Amino acid sequence: MAAAFTMAQRAEATLGGTADSVTTDRAALSAARRATTVLPNYTVQEIVSDAVRIREYVSSAGVVFAISWDGLIHPDLTTLLGSYASEYRQAEHDTPRHMGVRRREVRGSQVVVEKWGHMRNLRGRAYAPALVPAGVSLDELK
């Protein structure tokens, strides 16, 4: 399981980064690119490892504006969020926890991270609201 966690960390693209990281991440992970879906306002690129499936949402300008995941673990958000990581950590610290609630939403001024699920079925998404293309609904980011 520890090896799967380490490999899953390398599978992550950086929010706000370019789409080029998908190829590098896939090679480092020895993972399979499961699918690439081209939609009018963005492309979804999916990478799959033994522990987690990560979907990158890339705008037509080539910028990763959102990332979602599901799997056995939540990926390392420090890696996943890149330059947004410190803002996320501060917002997470400032957001009160509610006992018994399996869904957590952390909002910073430039990034939103939502995590939910239960053991062995964990899900989440992270997005930068300013980077989400016009006409894209947040409901599409699953």
At 39-90, the pLDDT tens digits run: 999 999 888 888 889 899 999 999 999 999 999 988 878 877 889 999 999 9
pLDDT on residue 142: 87
Distance CA 58, CA 71 (A): 21
How many CB atoms within 10 Å of residue 43?
16
Report the mean per-residue pLDDT for the chain: 83
Distance CA 22, CA 11 (A): 8
Please list the residues that pair with 44 across neighbouring strands. 37, 57
Buried b / exposed e over 89-117, threshold 16 CB at 10 Å, is: eebbeeeeeeeeeeeeebebebbbbbbbe
pLDDT on residue 21: 65
114 pLDDT band (50/70/90 cuts)? very high
Q: At what angle do helices 2-10 and 21-29 cross, to 10 degrees?
A: 160
Q: Among candidates 14, 112, 132, which has minimal Cα distance to 65? A: 132
Share of the chain above pLDDT 70, in %: 81
Tokens of 114: 């939502």
Average pLDDT (109-122) is 93
Distance CA 115, CA 124 (A): 4
pLDDT on residue 50: 85
